[in-house]
Structure 1
Amino acid sequence: MKSIFFSMVLVLSLLYCFAHLSNAAIPCGTVDMKAAACISFATGKDAKPSAACCSGLQQLAQTVKSVDDKKAICRCLKAGVKNFAGVQEKFLTQIPNACKIKVGFPVSMNTNCET
């Protein structure tokens, strides 16, 4: 359950760059599965994101086909952040660079999904 919530947080960061989109097509369950492997890094338990973490996030980014998809993922992640204690912003912000994923904005748990 905690992995699902972290997954949402991580994907939120990735999707913010796509935040100018509206109706969602990607379910939260998919978002959770793709980002679940990142929780150990985002909570400070691992020194770097795992290969599974980076691979899942890259796969998730490739599934985004519309603005609605991006907003949906962002909302899933943001909802998860509210329910998951332990994710540290200082680690979360490092994931895009560590995984070589370009998001084009500062990663934050306070990202506005609707802009």
Structure 2
Amino acid sequence: MKKMVFVSFFTILFVLVIATEPSNGLTCEQEKSLLMPCLDFVTKKTVEPSSLCCKGLNQIISLPLEEMLSAGTCLKEAVSHIPNLDKDRIINLPEACKLNLHSHLQRL
């Protein structure tokens, strides 16, 4: 249940992007798995994201545009189920991971 709940936070990170196409590269479960390690950070259980969290986030934001949008749809579904979700931490996750989200999003 936590796994499913966690992944939804990623949608907020991408400004609640809504897409209708399924991901061709990763399944929704794989996308959730990649971001599961971020759950403790976005719920304030840890002060910084783990390296696994940052690696998973980098993998998601490095996907081709269609797949990244699909990941947003997949993850949006679980957002409402995450207790104690800190939206500021979600928004700042790329910075906390020292990832340049701007360069990834220039593809948009």
Which amino acid in the other structure matches residue 96 of structure 1? P
Take 2:56 and 2:101, find their aligned partners in 1: how far apart are those partners? 15
For the aligned residue pairs, the C-alpha RMSD in angstroms reads 2.5
User: How much does 1:102 deviate?
Assistant: 2.7
Counterpart of 2:5 in structure 1 is: 5
1:42-61 correspondence to structure 2 within 5 Å: 42-61=42-61
Percent identity over the alignment is 23
Query: Using a 3 Å threshold, how does the CA distance of structure 1 residues 10 and 21 change in structure 2: closer, same or farther?
Result: closer
Secondary structure at 2:8's aligned position in 1? helix
The TM-score with structure 1 as length reference comes to 0.72
Give the secondary structure class of the aligned counterpart of 2:78: helix
Gaps of 5+ in 1: 105-115
Alignment size in residue pairs: 100
Tell me by how many angstroms 1:99 deviates: 0.8
Residue among 96, 99, 104 paired with 2:97:
99
Contact 2:10 2:90 in 1 (8 A): yes
How far residue 87 of structure 1 moved from its aligned partner, in angstroms, is 1.2
Moved beyond 3 Å, runs of 4+? 19-22
In 2, the alpha carbon distance for the partners of 1:61 and 1:38 equals 14
* Rounded Cα–Cα distance in structure 1 between residues aligned with 2:19 and 2:50: 29
Q: Which residue of 1 aligns with 2:83?
A: 85
Q: Which residue of 2 aligns with 1:68?
A: 66
Asked whether the equivalents of residues 12 and 90 of structure 2 are also in contact (C-alpha less than 8 Å), the reply is no
CA shift at 1:40, angstroms? 0.4
